Structure 1
Amino acid sequence: MTKAEKRNFKLFATRAGATTDNKFIRLFDAIDKSPAPEDSLLVKQLSITSGKLSNLKRHLYQQVLTSLRLIYINKEIDIELRQQIDFTRILYGKGHYLDSLRLLERAKLTAVKHNQDLLHLEILEFQKLIEARHVTLSRQVDNKMDLLLKESTECNQSVLNNSELFNINIQVHGLYIEHGHSRTAEELAENEEFWTNTQKRMARKGPSDYTFHQKINRSQATMWFHYIQLDFREALDDAVEASNMFYLNPQMMVKDPDLYLRCLYYVSMLGYLTKDETTVRRNVTKMDKFLNGDDVLLNGNSRQLGETYLNLSRFNHLFMTGDHEEAYQLSQKILAQHTLGEFLPSSHRWALFLFKFAAACFLVKRFDEALDYLNEIINMRSGIFREDLLINTRLLHALCNFELTNYSLVDYHLNSVSRLLNRSKETAQVHKLSVSGLRRLLKTPIAEHQQVYTVLQEEINSVADQAFERKALIYLDLNWWLNSKQ
């Protein structure tokens, strides 16, 4: 909790004559002052039994959530709408049917304005219930019931379409997670057939009839399909189309900042893969402006997510422009924020940052420091979820040891790297070539290394025109390493 949230809780907890002597307030203070409170110490400090402590914790948790809800009720439109619906149910329970309908009508307009389809449908269903069970003044309005039923039918179909498009988006994304990119002609044809069948499910309505979230999900599903097929340029166009939806509906930046930031990151990432420096730079600027501007009040999760996307995109842009020293300085800044607890991404995303740190160190020839970051990734208890990250980590680890002339360690680690490459679906030909090249270097006298570098460069260039190989070279810049040996 932030300081403001804690202060608000204390004001909320001491309302209506309550005092700071209340045990749940004392429990809050005890937990707040201790970095890692233990139950045994809390029991002793509050003079209660362990059984009462559990009940007290549960009560405190409920009070904290209620306090936070009061803070965010005017900042999160869905929380505000749910409160309005709750109010209408209370009024309905007291027999004030007309007041309930008036409040529901106002809430419905807000739901439509902010693309809250599910809450819109819930409001319509409650309106229908009141109209069906009670005699109201609505019957005096011409076609009132017909219009309500028509709106309900359209909203119900919209919710169904939105759910199905969201499912398709997740399904196509899941296809990439499970099977990766299409590498062979058979895989390309199989995924093309899958997409053709998916398109039939998406063609129930014309694109112009889709709502905001339906258009986003449709564009992102198409983006993932093109990404799977290694058509990064088409995928970039789809990502741009999704992000542009927010400029046509600017209120959605406030309503769903996480989705907006994710859309910007997809554009930035695909711009990096297509070597479109202008696109990456523009989106870095957009993310920075959005995160540090005063137009949108971001919660902790949105800010953490935004900082993650922004910093990853900054690294990509610096690597693209060859500003390696600036990339190293950025790594030191982020590491300091992480040490202070100001920047704490998930373990998987932190592994991505550690690799970026190591890559920056490698590019400025700080090989010992790079090994520290790479060892931290390899030894992470949570494990690495992305095989391409693990492959690049292992290979960069071998390259750093080679540069430090730790030849025995390189020879030892190359065996495990080879086993990883043989079983992974993310293995590129350039990965295998780099391993074979390092083996040749270990067996060749230092005076003859130049010839090995030249041959390895030619081998990599012979496959570099393939999309999957280009992607591998972008994330592990073997060409830079080889060029530095010329």
Structure 2
Amino acid sequence: MPKQKTDDLLQLIVSLTRAEKRHFRLFVKRNQSSNDILFLQLFDHLDKHQEYDEPTLLKKIPEIKKSQLSNLKAHLYKQLLTSLRLLSKNYNEDIEIREAIDYARVLYNKGLYQQALDILDKAKQKARQSKFDTLTLEILEFEKRIEGQYVTGSMEGRADALSLEATELTELLHKTNQYSNLSLQMYALYLKVGYVRNEKEYDFARETFEGQLPQADYHQLDFWSKVYHSKAHYWYHHMRQEFPQCYRYSERWLTLFSESPESISLHPVEYLKGLHKLLNALFNTLQYQRFCEIMKMLEAFPTHYDISKNKNIEGLYYLFWYIHQIKFHFLQGTFTEGIVLVKPLMKIIEEETYYWDNRRILVFYYRIACLYFGSGNNSKAIDYLNLIINQKNPDYREDIQSFARILNLIAHFELGNRQLVEYQVKSVYRFLAKQEELNEVQKEIFYFIRKTPRIRTDELQAEFKRLKETLSSLEGKPFVRRPFLYLDIISWLESKMEGIPVQEVIRRKFLARQEKAQQQK
């Protein structure tokens, strides 16, 4: 068995829960003694040692010959998947529906056409109720195949009814695929560049979006078309920094599940993503009270859905939970309190508990660095920024890579490392110029940092004030305001001017917004 396949087998075994391991052993032993099953002995060995050491394995289990290993590992992998499939069908309705299709196929092969049709009809009703449209179409095609060979005569117009049903569903799926393709393309573009940086990218996003946007009345769409319609619009407006529109479409996304509560347990991934996008939009529009309300909905999710049964759902839940717990502290200006999240979060990342992708981990490093920077611990901020800066040729989230370098300069400036700052300014400038990242805000920051080694202490306050006034005038400009989404540079400058920690400035602004909101009620 090739090394990659061996690694896959070991990774699968390590990922198993205690209940899944118990089920597998019962599944294997159902008809035979475990002492006679070599692949179960192999499983027990790998489960115990959590690593693949072939010489040790052959020594510990002499019944296994070296020539057998490749086939034995492949068989074990297949048996594990079969066991997991059996266990998963109890809480994955789509697996149960596919099983019914398989049973119908077996009956069809035996020539028991009416029995096959009975099973398919029940499966089709369940698939329709659960909004598994592709499975519904697969069942319809199977029904048409049987009816074309075995005419029941039990339903007048059966052929016409099946043909019409299949046509309508095909058109519906075509529309859904158009929206899902557009949503995926918008997401891929965002992963590449983040927020649009200039008018050229702004227009490119618009042309890409409008060129592929289906012309349809939203209210006439089905559930999934509406979900993907909302997702596509969310990503489009998000990368263009049009956050009120992001709020509109993420709210619409979540409303679809509120109006169809049974869809939450059937499609928990899309529900969690809807909560996540709405929280992002609320954070970017500074709607604190509504943010807290939706955060409670996210935190309540495990009380309604047993996330321990599904590693993917569990990983997604904790991914979003940590993202928005950190943002909660960003909103409030409670950076020091937020540091408590770092240790358990890093444990998940380092142990690869949920196999989060590198892009998400990169963003977490940046957010952790911001927590430490906001709390005044610049050395720790630099440690996490270096985890981003020292990555070898990553081809994703150029925005995070760029702003990590800017924040790194500011953190070194705070520590008084003037010579190091002077040296790094040039390399960071070259990096940003190569990435086409340099805009007016960044140029002003570079101009300030580059001349700091020559500024007298008694002149610093005036320079801080000058930079703040310049940046404040740029904050409302399209494209130019992008840096403020990654780093609250204005609050940092105010903290330097007043001689207080940056989190105190941000906290003060938060309390002022809260007081204003109360007065407007």
Normalized against structure 2, the TM-score is what? 0.87
Query: Could you tell me how far apart the structure 2 residues matched to 1:268 and 1:247 are?
Result: 16
- What per-residue deviation string (whole Å, max 9, x for no partner) do you get for residues 240-286 of structure 1? 11121111222221122122111211111122222222333223222
The residue correspondences of 1:62-461 to structure 2 (distance < 5 A) are 62-136=78-152, 139-177=153-191, 181-185=195-199, 188-189=202-203, 191-199=205-213, 202-203=214-215, 205-294=216-305, 298-338=309-349, 342=353, 345-381=356-392, 383=394, 385-461=396-472
Cα shift readout 1:130-185 (whole Å, capped 9, x = no counterpart): 1111131xx23233332222111111211222222211222333344456555555
- Specify every segment of 5 or more residues in structure 2 that has no aligned partner in the other structure, as ranges: 1-15, 498-521
CA distance in 2, matches of 1:49, 1:118: 45
1:41 corresponds in structure 2 to 56
For structure 1, which segment, 146-155 or 164-173, has the greater mean C-alpha deviation from structure 2 after superposition? Answer: 164-173
After TM superposition, the structure 1 = structure 2 runs for residues 41-60 of structure 1, keeping only pairs within 5 Å, are: 41-47=56-62, 48-60=64-76
Which one-letter code corresponds to 1:267 in the other structure? L
SS across alignment from 1:37: coil
SS in 1 for 2:32: coil
Distance 1:175 1:362, change over 3 A: closer
Structure 2 counterpart of 1:29, which letter?
D
2-structure distance, mates of 1:58, 1:149? 42
- Does 2:40 align with 1:29? no
For 2:486, the aligned partner's letter is: Y
Larger displacement relative to structure 2 (336-345 or 404-413): 336-345
CA contact (8 A) 1:324 1:360 kept: yes
Distance 1:44 1:85 in 2: 45
Q: Once structures 1 and 2 are overlaid, which stretch shifts more, 65-74 or 235-244?
A: 235-244
Q: Give, as a single letter, the amino acid of the residue that structure 2 aligns with 1:152.
A: A
Tell me how far 1:119 sits from its aligned partner.
Answer: 0.8
Higher alpha-carbon deviation: 466-475 or 118-127: 466-475
Q: Give the whole-Å Cα distance in 1 for the aligned partners of 2:113 and 2:186.
A: 46
SS state of the match for residue 115, structure 1?
A: coil
For the structure 1 residues 165 and 386, does the alpha-carbon distance in structure 2 shift closer, same or farther, using more than 3 Å as the test?
A: same
Q: Give the conservation status (yes or no) of the 8 Å contact 2:197–2:437.
A: no
For the 8 Å contact 1:359–1:370, the answer to whether it is kept is yes
SS in 2 for 1:124: helix
* Matched position secondary structure for 1:17: coil
CA contact (8 A) 2:335 2:374 kept: yes
Where 1:95 maps in the other structure, the secondary structure is coil
> Deviation string for 1:312-368 (max 9, x for gaps)?
111112101111122112223423454566565323222222222211111111122
The answer to whether the 8 Å contact 2:192/2:395 transfers is no
Query: 1:425 Cα shift?
Result: 4.0
Deviation at 1:446, TM superposition (A): 2.2
* 1:128 counterpart letter in structure 2: K
* Contact 1:92-1:100 within 8 A present in 2 as well: yes
Q: Closer, same or farther in 2 for the Cα pair 1:427/1:216, shift >3 Å?
A: farther
Q: Which one has more relative contact order, counting CA pairs under 8 Å at least 6 apart?
A: 2
For the Cα contact (< 8 Å) 1:268–1:284, is it kept in 2? yes
- Aligned CA distance change for structure 1 residues 384 and 182 (closer, same or farther; 3 Å): closer
Q: Is the 8 A contact 1:421 1:432 kept in 2?
A: no
| Counterpart Cα distance in 2 of 1:282 and 1:231 | 22
Who is 2:18 aligned against?
Answer: 3
Separation in structure 1 between the aligned mates of residue 451 and residue 188 of structure 2, nearest angstrom: 39
Q: 3-state DSSP class of the match of 2:102?
A: helix
Q: What is the aligned length?
A: 481
* Inter-CA distance 84–477: structure 2 relative to 1 (3 Å threshold): same
Deviation larger for 456-465 or 40-49: 40-49
CA 1:255–1:375 in 2, change beyond 3 Å: closer, same or farther? same
Aligned partners of 1:388 and 1:427 also within 8 Å? no
Residue from 460, 467, 475 that aligns with 2:486: 475
* Cα displacement string for residues 68-111 of structure 1 (whole angstroms, at most 9, x for unaligned residues): 00100121111111100010111112221111111111000001
Per the TM alignment, residue 65 of structure 1 is displaced from its structure 2 partner at its CA by 0.5
Report the Cα distance in structure 2 between the residues aligned to 1:126 and 1:439, rounded to whole angstroms: 70
Question: Quick check: 2:193–2:397 contact (8 Å CA) kept in 1?
Answer: no
Structure 1: distance between partners of 2:308 and 2:150 = 43
CA distance in 2, matches of 1:380, 1:90: 52
Which AA in structure 1 matches 2:151? Answer: V
Identity %: 31
Normalised by the length of structure 1, the TM-score is 0.93
Give the 3 Å change call, closer, same or farther, for CA 425–236 of structure 1 in structure 2.
farther
For residue 427 of structure 1, report the CA deviation from its aligned partner.
Answer: 4.1
Kept in 2, the 8 Å contact 1:384–1:390? The answer is no
Distance, in Å, in 2 between the alignment partners of 1:185 and 1:394 is 24
Unpaired segments ≥5 residues, structure 1: none
